[in-house]
Structure 1
Amino acid sequence: MKIVTNWIYSQPIRNKVLVFGILMSSLPLILLSYYYFIHAKGDLEKRINEKQILILNNLSAEIKLEMDQTFQKMQMFTIMNQTERNNRAFYELLQQSDSIEEIVITNHQGLVEKRISRYSLNLAKKDERWYTDDMWYRFQTKERTYGNVEFNSFGQPVMKLAIPFFENGQRKGLGVVVQLQKIIGKISSLRQDHSSYLYLMDNRGKVIAHQDYSKLWQKHSDLIDNSVIGVKEKIQGLDWTLVMEQPKSSAYEPIDKMMQNGLTVVAIATLMVSLISIYAGLYFTKPIIQLDKAMRKLKFGEKFEPLKLEQTDELGMLVHSFNNMSKELQEKSLRLNQEKERLNLVLSGIGAGLGLVRNDYKITWMNPLLKELLQEKQLQLPCYTLVGASNGPCEDCMITCPGISGNADKLITFEGAGGRKRIYRHRVFPLNNKIEGEGEYLLFIEDITEQKEIEEKIVQTDKLAALGLMASSFAHEVNNPLTTINVYAEDLLDRVISGDKSLDQDEMAHYMKKIKDNTTRCKKITGNLLNFSRKTSWSQSSIHLKETVQDAISLVEHTIKKKNLTLKVEFDPAIPAFSGDSLKLMQVLVNLLNNAIDSFKKEGTITIKAIMENTNLVLSVGDTGEGIPEKIRSKIFDPFFTTKPVGKGTGLGLSVCYGIVQQFGGTIQITSEQGAGTFVEIRIPIQKVALKEAN
């Protein structure tokens, strides 16, 4: 059934319109004709049967009446006395009934006593038995007796009738021989039409009267054949059967002819409707076919002229709308191709790798740069293997955790040409308008090697600038222990040369200890200075915050004392060692302390405080200096922005601090009130820093 339905759906509309028109025109006519034919046949058969029954009833009544009249005449004859039943009475009876050809009187034994015949001698043979055995048997018990149909000497069908009567105490019989020619002639003359026929059968099933003489005296069944329409009528007393039949072929001939005429009309109507349907199909489908061809051209990008249709009906409106739509589509297609060309140029020249990733981590598309970076032959590998070199999905990726905030921003390293390692920023963005199976996320991989190198140079520049600004402080810090060393060394040398007897071993050890302590102090100052100025990339290690803060303070301690400032340091003992780059954090603290020192025009206080809030380290540097004017607060993190005079600052300090804190995965916030001071708060999630180290 489904195959037939699909086949019907696949046919052109013009064929469907044609078939629909033919069915709607011919099917009702055929059904009505068939219905009328069936009911007309039944009605005709009923009327024929009614007519046949009426004819048979009348004919059987006439035959019975004929016989009854004959019996009545015979009964009238028997009631005469013996003297009255002379030859004259016999001849009168013959004269009254033309069908009687012989009259006999039989005795109680059934032998003929007297005979009067119309065509033979009136002599009774000796011991002549007039009755047949079965007739004699019926004669003993019935008032009226019928004999079988026989033939006389002329070959005419006759039948014997007999009734009993009593004379002189004896039961005698009056019998007559009746000619049946009149009955046969009546049946033969009663033809209704050329196809129907009427016949009469006796009690033995033999045809004694038929409109077709060739079938006379043949034995015939009294059952009505299915091929004819017929009825039969029993004639009581005679035990004869009247049958009237008409072949169905001839009876239904008018209806068949009418049906043929009806089918001819249906055929003509179907032909006319077919022609109309063909015209209607072409009329309605021609615009649709034109639309289909135009849509195919539009589909394959071929150029075509607007469709022309003179119709102003719905189809005309549809064609008009299609022309407008195709025009807009062609214009949009042209613009889309232009945009596609531009997009391809952008994707190829953007300098970043782009790819589409499905929910199952499969990369379905790459731009040329990403293909070159990841090797296209590895496309079947999941993204976390290609990009992260991991055996499982990344925990902080939005593909793994759709509800996660951010875009999985992380740095990855690939080995480029010549074995040089290059740094890439890897990010993932969800797509709102996506095609299922082609990618639900955009993978963005950007080469930031040069950017990182520039950032390191900026950081190093900031360090060197800070060192330049702190040069006098460093010189003073080193000069003090060197002066002490020089004094102790000269005094010791003079006493040794002069041969001072009081210079004992304990005093010698005191001189050497002073020289060693100041030498160690110089080494520590220069060591911190070298560490601070050393150019390094991000180095993951365990950070002890207290040591890092003390190292940073040692670089600015002389300046703090010189400006007569108070430094307060508060540490939460619960702060654990955590993972990160201690030199980077030290640089942040040095920059913040230098900014705090520069904000003072008189005495004041600088406070360094470190506490734990849940899993976050909160490190703050506050001062009671002049504060930051409100109009420049939005620019303080901009590179090269400074309010200090030339030679006092580069404008990189806070910008570098912001970048380093972001590398720690933390945040930096500055609140300031002009004339009241500035407060800088750094929040570093220690767990995230640890994860960063593990990654």
Structure 2
Amino acid sequence: MINSKIFSWRGRLKFRVLAFSLIMSIIPLLILGLLNISAARLNLESAIQSREMATARKIAREIEGQMQKIEEKLMLTANSFHVQLLTADYRERERLLYTILKDTSSLEEVKLWDNSGKELARVSRREVIIQEDLGNVEKTPEFRTVIQDRPYHGPVELGEDGRPMITIAVPVRDLSGTRVVGGLAARVSLRNVMDAVLQIPTGNAGYVLVVDQTGRLIGHTDFSEVLRNRSVLSSLCVQELLSGTDPAKLPVPHRYRTYTGLEVLGVYAPVNSLGWGVVIEEPVHQVFTPIRQMALKLGLATLVVALLVTIISVSSALRFTRPIEILEEGVKRVGAGDLDYVIDFKSEDEVGRLVAAFNQMTRELKQKREMEAMVVQADKLAAVGLLASGVAHEINNPLASVAAYSQDLLERLETEKAEELLESGELIHYLTVIKEQVARAKKITQNLLNFARQSEWQPQELSVNSVIEDALALLEYQFKQADIVIEKKLEPQLPPVLADRLQLQQVFVNLFQNALDAMDKSGRLTISTSLEENYIKVTVSDTGCGIPEEQLPKIFDPFFTTKPAGVGTGLGLSICYGIISRLKGRIKVTSQTGKGTTVTVCLPVSRGKEGLNETAS
């Protein structure tokens, strides 16, 4: 049996030849290209991470330097002008503070206080401060730190406009330089510091962010992120920075999904003196633009090679596989039942000899099928002979009814008028009974004729229960005469099977006839159907004489019979086995001497057109 789906495009020799050529030419090219791309990717990641690490450290040093410069400027002013700061009047102090403010663009406010915390002067870049606005800084952390003769770097705070600010303060000493008599503090705008520092170039798509010791964003290449107070705590680099992880021990590549949701390569460097950190992140999809360009060029080269190899391979495959396709077409035709088909192909090579052998096999198969058909028909005719007497008796009953009703109608027409019988409805009744009995006789003879006629194998979807009923109808009279009780356990609404109706009917007639012969006079024949998985199971059990165990292996052999001489041909079960096998089913016989025999037939549930093509083979 040939399944047409076996020869799908993936299984064709033509495809295999083409695939082999493509694989042997393209795979090595792809492997080399992928290895090169992989190596280039690793090298690029390592180079980018090293470069960005150096940049991060440079930016961290630059931030420290900027803050140190501001502290040194304040310290220089405190040391150089301490006399003026301590002894001058308010106007002179204010002028001196304005000078500091003017010289350093990142300062927003500068103030001076004495050792009691009283503000002596304060100037701002954004507002005018008069002497009456001055207050006391005694309780501020910068005062408490400076009064201990230590410089002060405060935490980052947000100004009214959202800009990050930091306060730097230094002590002001007396003339001897040994005692702290006040303090000088500056409020520094980190935006100006960051704008200057973050000019240091990074990668093409990289960006820099600076965080304080709490992880709050205080600087960014895009400073609007700082003004929006964007949280960056979900960045892996920020988390590692806050945990104190050594940046030199970062894996290569250090890839992760950052606070923006993008996958990035990230590095960081601490600003040690301030407790801050510098983080540089570069989106992976932009980092690998050169790699993608390389991969695109490799893909185009591979495509060109594949196209050339395909053209050459298709040409070669067509010449190589054409004879095999001709043979395949022949196999399909013969498998579909066309045993008259001859493959017209001549060649002196192996394929030519294979075609010749196939044509010879087809001729022998045709002869075998013809012989099988003759044997099946002979068995049918033998069965018809056995059924003839029963059919004759079955026909006799409806004919007797027709004769009786016809005679009675003729006698009444002699004494009564036809119009009266028609008006009373009796004429219609007589004719209806005659019609029904004629139809019954016709059905009995038609069943016998259908069973006996020789026909081609015509598989169709049909009900097993219906075929069983038809087979029982042919043997109904014989069962009555032999006083055999028929017990039917037919499961309703079974799915159909795919079979030739007449041949399947012949199987059941043979099985029922065998049961009838085994029981002779009186007994019980039990017929049941059921659905088990994808098979219709038919069980035929009788209470006859049974079959000896040593004869069971031979019951399907042609011309073997356990019946007395002159009863049966010995072909029944052999033909049953052939028909059931052709339907892709199974038949099994179990028997006990003196107790009876059970025959089990399993037929596959129909699979529609697919199964129709298979059974034709």
Check whether TM > 0.5: no
Whose radius of gyration is greater, 1 or 2? 1
TM-score by length of 2: 0.42
TM-score by length of 1: 0.38
